Amino acid sequence: MDYRVSCIRRCLFRSYLFRACVFSFLLISISGGCSSGGGGSVSPTPPPPSDENKLNIEILDAFIGDDNRTVATIKLTDENGSPITRDGISISFIIARIVESGEYIDYITRVQEGAVQATSENGGDYQQVGPGLYNYTFATELPAGYDRSQTHTVALYAEKVIGSQAFVSNATFDFVPDGGTVRTIRDIVATQSCNSCHDPLALHGGVRRDVGVCITCHTSKIVDPETGATVDQIDPQSGNNIGFNIMIHKIHMGEMLPSVEAGDPYYIVGFNDSIHDYSTVVFPQDNRNCTKCHNESVAVQANDYKLKPTRASCGSCHDDVDFAAAINHPTVQLNDNNCSGCHIPQSGTEFDISVTGSHTVPLKASSLPGLNFALIDVRSAETGDTRVGPGEHAEVTFSIKTNAGAVVDIAEMGSISLVIAGPTTDYNIQDYSGTGVEIPGVNNVLREVPSSAEGPDENGNYIYTFNGIIPTNATGTYAVGIEGRIPRMVGGENLILFEEVQEAGRNQVYYFAVTDAVPVPRRIVVDNSTEDEFCNACHGVFSKDFSIHGNLRNDTEYCVLCHNPSNDDILVRPVEPGQTAITASIDFREMIHKIHTGENLTVQPYIIYGFGGSVHDFGEVLYPGNTSDCSACHLPNTNILDPGNGILGPDILATVNREFTKVDGVNVVLQTFSTQPVITVCTSCHDNVGVTPDGAALTGENHLAGPQPESACVNCHAAGDPLGAAEVHLPPLPPAERINRPMPE
């Protein structure tokens, strides 16, 4: 059976432009609807705190009785901390111990198609000992002679359904049965690390959300209760080990697993024979960045990956290595005793065989001198004034320096460009050779290579005067941006002797007035300049962990210069002579929403053409987090409707968005279809909502309030209204539980 075909799950950002990882069963799909309701101008209602959970369970104590049955004391409370009863709550328990290898072994097992697997129980006895307090006595009896000196852990996962909302609680408690102090723990990866992308981590129906619970069952070994033998814990249908350290590494490696590259799919068969094929998963950044998951700031033993390397963990990613036969490994290794002898934690040398050295991300190599741009000044070449008027040439002063402050010779740059776009109210396609009239398929920005720039001067600055002019009909404020990269060599003593990398500088944007009294910067909606937040939470540092457009573009403030409402893929979409083609918008607000919605889009496939006619089908993407959580990407209050002021406020020009352009075989424009800005944003995710032929209104298809012009959107969806854009996108609850929504009469 071809499992790759039967249950294929595509990864997030599978193309070279956008890469991300996804678990096929991680996404909790949350959909919203629209209905009639009154408008309003009250202040936006903030989201409820994420810890407002109506089910909270804490394990207060545990011991093992003389009958070898475990007794756990648990406390149940609601969102206010008030005690609650067990009514309507399902709780499953696990009892496991940490063995000599440092891994858990679960005492509770089941036989699944001949394979022994860890499991949980819920058939024990409860005794209420106080308000919200219960003693749970396990049904499972521990084997005679169990080691009372080992660390034991009681884990539980619980669910309470109220209305349509399932409230979940996970908990663990460590203890030593002989009364000793807990000295051995297992805390290698924290749930917080997982939730930076998978927010929330929610497996097996969404009930298991804490890594501390996961690792008590997902162990590489298990004890067969019939024979007492320790055996591999496997999925019997695929033969794959389901130990956390093996399975999670393999899932995140996905299509880059050597076995997958050789044609052998990596899959796990779950409950009800559901097949989860991870062969197309792509990690959203460089997979050598171990600290993305192994974060020592939130997990006590996060450094164990380099302090205690094992064949199982290392071989899970490098699965073409046979340690017993010395295949793709210089020596035979029958156990883990000698691993750290060669693979020491770190040596101070990058790219050697130390654990840290062999996982050096090339573009983060310390040997790289760095590349830093600065846009220092923009003036009119004609007047010398800081206001560059319509029809004038912009003179830009900029610098290129290393981290140490040394000036970089512009002639050494592999690629460098200066870009002008405007106005900042909303960038659009213009003719920068004269009138500024919008010309589809021509130049979407003014882009020039400043190779003839004067300098560097005594301050290390270059000066470049654009050949193109500010359009004669230009108004407001414009922006100039810079991009560039330089070829560098990094090297080491291990697998990479020498490798050429393209070190990129961080894009910079500088605003200058054209007709404004002072420059008015472009609004910032998403931000990828903050470490471990927003885009960077999944993708890491752009142009180091994650590459777009040949590693040249790495700042969203710069991206929107080109990815603007009047731009599409007309210049790169191939059209056969005599045929017509319909292009796709590459407006940032539409494209990014659609890419992240991916597989959940109604209209499929979602294809954008890139440079060289490359095809990028983002209809395969499955976002690994909560698609209803706008705050994962958006800055606060940037996803709201402000009544009377357009989509985001008074500084935003209500420009239309070019949805598509129909062209013939010689790029003659036959038809252009555009949508209004609010409709553009909302239908980029909710793409099954019907839009009128002129793009100015909703038809009523899949819209509870029926046909509506864009101007009426604020009547229901303004900030502060029950159906406000922010109010219906509150994490982590689904819409039915977030608000008391009015229904149409």
Query: What CA–CA distance (Å, rounded) separates 51 from 78?
Result: 11
Instruction: Give the predicted TM-score (pTM) of the model.
Output: 0.84
For the CA atoms of 85, 87, 89, 94, the dihedral, rounded to the nearest 10 degrees, stands at: 70
Task: Burial-class residue 88 by CB neighbours within 10 Å (0-12, 13-18, 19+).
Answer: exposed
For residue 330, whether the previous peptide bond is cis, meaning omega lies within 30 degrees of 0, is no
DSSP string for 222-279:
EE-TTT--EEE-B-TTT--B--HHHHHHHHHHGGGSHHHHTT---EEE-GGG-EEE-T
Cα–Cα dist 662/673, whole Å: 8
- Total Cβ atoms within 10 A of residue 489: 11
- What type of residue sits at position 603? V
pLDDT of residue 428: 78
The answer to whether residues 502 and 495 touch, using CB atoms and an 8 Å cutoff, is no
CA atoms of 527 and 257, how far apart (whole Å): 32
Domain with CATH 2.60.40.1930 in the chain: 372-562
- Quick one: pLDDT at residue 669? 63
Q: Can you read off the two tokens belonging to residue 204?
A: 């097996």
Return the residue matching tokens 């934690």. 345
Strands of 56-64's sheet, edge to edge?
A: 56-64, 69-77, 133-141, 125-130
Region of residue 277 (phi > 0: left; psi between -120 and 50: alpha; otherwise: beta): beta
User: Do residues 680 and 567 make contact, with C-beta atoms less than 8 angstroms apart?
Assistant: no
pLDDT tens by residue, 160-216: 998 877 899 999 999 999 999 999 999 999 999 998 888 788 888 889 999 999 999
pLDDT of residue 49: 40
Neighbour-count burial of 51, counting CB atoms closer than 10 A to its CB (0-12 exposed, 13-18 middle, 19+ buried): exposed
pLDDT at 441: 46
Average pLDDT along the chain: 85
Q: How far apart are CA 44 and CA 466, in angstroms?
A: 45
| Non-local CB neighbours of 330 within 8 Å, separated by 6+ positions | none
DSSP code of residue 630 = G
What DSSP string describes 150-209? S-EEEEEEEEEEETTEEEEEEEEEEE-TTS--------SS-HHHHHTTSSS--BTTTTB-
Query: Across the strands, what pairs with 502?
Result: 487
Segments in 643-685 forming alpha helices (H): 677-685
Give the closest residue to 4 by CA, choosing from 317, 280, 319.
280
CB 253 within 8 A of CB 317: yes
C-alpha dist (Å) from residue 667 to 264, 443, 615: 43, 14, 19
Which residues are within 8 A (CB) of 246 and not within 5 positions of it... i.e. 6 or more apart?
220, 312, 313, 316
pLDDT digits (tens, 9 = 90+) for 430-446: 666 665 555 554 456 89
**372-562: what fold?**
Immunoglobulin-like (2.60.40)
Residue 312 token pair: 């199982």
User: Rounded to an integer, what distance in angstroms lies between the CA atom of residue 199 and that of residue 47?
Assistant: 16
- For the record, the structure tokens of 422 come out as 């405007």
CB–CB of 98/184 below 8 Å?
A: yes
8 Å CB contact between 657 and 565 = yes
Regions of the chain short of the pLDDT cut 50: 1-51, 441-442, 644-654, 733-745
Residues 6+ apart with CB under 8 A from 394: 378, 379, 380, 381, 388, 420, 465, 466, 470, 478, 480, 512
CB atoms within 10 A of CB 185: 14
The reported pLDDT for the residue numbered 492 is 67
